[in-house]
Structure 1
């Protein structure tokens, strides 16, 4: 009986510790919205979003974003790295969805929210630390520009509401599971032959790897070139083992596919 009590006590302590690690910010509203509106398609490689449903629940989304806006910069700076990154990815994705809803259903692409002289990613639509900033400020300033996180897999997590983009995950990111979630996102995206594939001795990949090539060559897991990064995910990309030497020696031709900017809508 004593041993059972000890096990129960240890379980309670462990559970409380896990929740304490996640207690700085509550993602439950965003998590519920994602589970209700995001549908996984293409054998698990992609997702589509029910924006009509989200439009009917816009008040919940806005409540979540208001709670995020209440986080003080001093609080954020006291969080550990994983909690910061999870918060920023969720904020980016929720703000992108909220931006889409400002014009949905009267748009076919997020680019419809911009113009010849203005980008939707430069609109001040994110409320954070007492300021109103843009999606670019979140991604390129706080996530990439800080050089604190140095994890190229963020490019498989932040979502631009487009079919060409890595899938919007149907759950919120959190500090405890972040590495597992980012790895899952990377594998799902890189194993999607419609966006990344190896055939006839040639590697054809998403233009994400061209746009953000420096991030994939920053030394993460020892990768200092695109090919070294691709070698980490050779299995997902369908690269035969016998071609690995050619890949590592930069002898595999890499071409970049076109990007599909159509809205990632379920409808």
Structure 2
């Protein structure tokens, strides 16, 4: 009888964990579909009714994710980052830029998976440090500035994460407003300058970009970085 109770207890914990994780992804998906359009966020509507976002972050604070379950771990923290960014904006809304909010990336903390963490720590220690060969994170983590690749109106999910990472990276690196090619000159986002180490494991930044481009940039093209656009990605 005791063994049966122990087994039932363990199963209930496992079931509750999986349910919570699934609940997080499903509710995140519904939230983003409601408040995101054309790569921009309707901060005004969220500010008026923040209960949906607050519920998501409450769920995220209690979830435990194991790094060995790679896609679940990555999908959770990508979504958590984007939701935390939105939370940071609406807590200070209206604002013109995340940079106008003191400590936005490096001081303000969010309760995620049982820990209090800043956006910078989430990006650099939870994701980049643990998965140093996955530069595609940079095309799905949305910092609330227009210089970021656009946020999508759906949750990142473990079962389709590889497809989503690839799709968003291809989309960004084929966007003429993101990669600006003029003859033998190419202007690329300061994102590549700040995180150069992530993009040059097996060659140059252009080698990395060309991996995902339909029209390849010519070898030897002169590279420069255009200024990052920190204006808020707010729905107008």
Aligning the two structures, in what range does the TM-score lie when normalised by the shorter sequence? 0.7 to 0.9
Cα gap change, 1:98/1:264 in structure 2, threshold over 3 Å: closer, same or farther? same
Q: Is residue 2:66 matched to residue 1:82?
A: no
| Runs of 4+ with deviation above 2 angstroms | 128-131
Secondary structure, in 3 states, of the residue corresponding to 1:121? Answer: coil
Match of 2:212 among 211, 218, 233: 233
Q: Find 1:32's aligned residue among 30, 33, 37.
A: 30
Bigger drift between 196-205 and 206-215 goes to 196-205
TM-score (norm 1): 0.76
Q: Give 1:123's match in structure 2, choosing from 89, 95, 107.
A: 107
Q: Secondary structure at the match of 1:215?
A: helix
TM-score (norm. length: structure 2): 0.86
- The runs of 5 or more residues in structure 2 that have no matched partner are 1-17
Conservation of the 8 A alpha-carbon contact between 2:174 and 2:213: no
Do the aligned partners of residues 61 and 209 (structure 1) sit closer, same or farther apart at CA in structure 2, a change above 3 Å counting? same
SS, match of residue 181 in structure 1: helix
Shift in alpha-carbon separation, 1:149–1:35, aligned structure 2, 3 A: farther
Which residue, out of 22, 42, 52, partners 1:50? Answer: 42
Contact 1:85/1:149 (CA < 8 Å) preserved in 2? no
Query: Residue 123 of structure 2 is aligned with which of 110, 118, 139?
Result: 139
CA contact (8 A) 1:109 1:262 kept: yes
Is the Cα contact below 8 Å between 1:95 and 1:126 reproduced in 2? Answer: yes
Kindly indicate whether the alpha-carbon contact (under 8 Å) linking 1:99 and 1:125 is maintained by their aligned counterparts in 2.
no
Q: Alpha-carbon deviations, 1:97-130, whole Å to 9, x = none?
A: 000000112x10001112xxxx310123210243
C-alpha distance in 2, partners of 1:79/1:68? Answer: 18
Indicate conservation of the 8 Å contact 1:205/1:255, yes or no: yes
How far apart are 1:78 and its partner, in Å? 6.3
Equivalent-residue separation in structure 2 for 1:23 and 1:38 (angstroms)? 25
> How do residues 1-267 of structure 1 correspond to structure 2 at under 5 angstroms?
25=21, 26=23, 27-40=25-38, 47-72=39-64, 76-77=65-66, 80-105=69-94, 107-114=95-102, 119-146=103-130, 148=131, 150-218=133-201, 223-235=202-214, 238-239=215-216, 243=218, 247=219, 251-267=220-236
Q: How many residues align?
A: 217
Deviation at 1:23, TM superposition (A): 5.1
8 Å Cα contact 1:191/1:197 also seen in 2: no
Give the Å deviation of 1:33: 1.3
List per-residue Cα deviations over 1:233-267 (Å, max 9, x = no partner): 231xx436xx3xxx2xxx22111111110000012
What SS class does the counterpart of residue 105 from structure 2 fall into?
helix
Residue of structure 1 in register with 2:5 after alignment:
none
**Helix, strand or coil for the counterpart of 1:224?**
coil
3-state DSSP of counterpart to 1:53: helix
Matches of 1:36 and 1:140, distance apart in 2: 29
